[in-house]
Structure 1
Amino acid sequence: MTKDDVLKGARGKPVPFEFDGLTLLLRPLSFGERSELFAWGREHAQEPGSGLALQARLVLFAVCDESGSPILEPADLNQFGVGLVDALAQEIARRNGIDGQGAGEPGKGPSPTTPS
């Protein structure tokens, strides 16, 4: 087994998320991405609109293609409805255990994006 094999296996697989008839793939956040999000959140917590900016960062990190590669650019989010961005950000946070509730749904086991 090589380092690349370990890193690929540790990443987890993208899983579908459906909202209002649209299905998108969401990949688990890496440890580095989570750390970056927490640091950004602390640094910008007092700025107006920082909550929306943090939601956007979550969506940009997690929406991906079948191989797990991010597919969106920041300008793409201007085309998304607020409801979709909000739903995506909440689901990404829930699946990655960064919503204050722990990973996955209570009583339903671990997050579907967490490798077992």
Structure 2
Amino acid sequence: MNDERNIADRGPARTAPRDSLFLLTSFFTPEGAPLGKARVRNLSATGLMADCERAVPQGAKIEFDLRGVGKVCGVVAWSRDDKIGIAFDTPIDPQLARKPVSSGAAQQQMPDYLRTNPLLRR
């Protein structure tokens, strides 16, 4: 393999630490036109890398909902085939995307017979 070529094929230098993960989302233009589904592969406070179901051009403005974070806006910093890098307009807390979707409140709303094993009741 040509290491120089591999380094050149990477996107711009990253400044924030990245966290590898796997999240699904759908990308849209600011006007609401769909740009397709995507798998977020890594995430930082300032951007992400994703595999897209179709190519999205560099420079495109993009919006999407990120689990635990909400609506995120940014611009495609680089695009190579079905992979893109997005630079966020405003930094996010990437740890919010890792928190469980359900909360203890959902557990409290569950009926008693579903929360406990009836064989253990006396």
TM-score interval w.r.t. the shorter chain? under 0.3
More helix by share: 1
Could you say which structure has the greater relative contact order, defined with CA pairs below 8 angstroms and 6 or more residues apart? 1
More strand by share: 2
State TM-score, norm by structure 1: 0.24
Q: Greater CA radius of gyration, 1 or 2?
A: 2
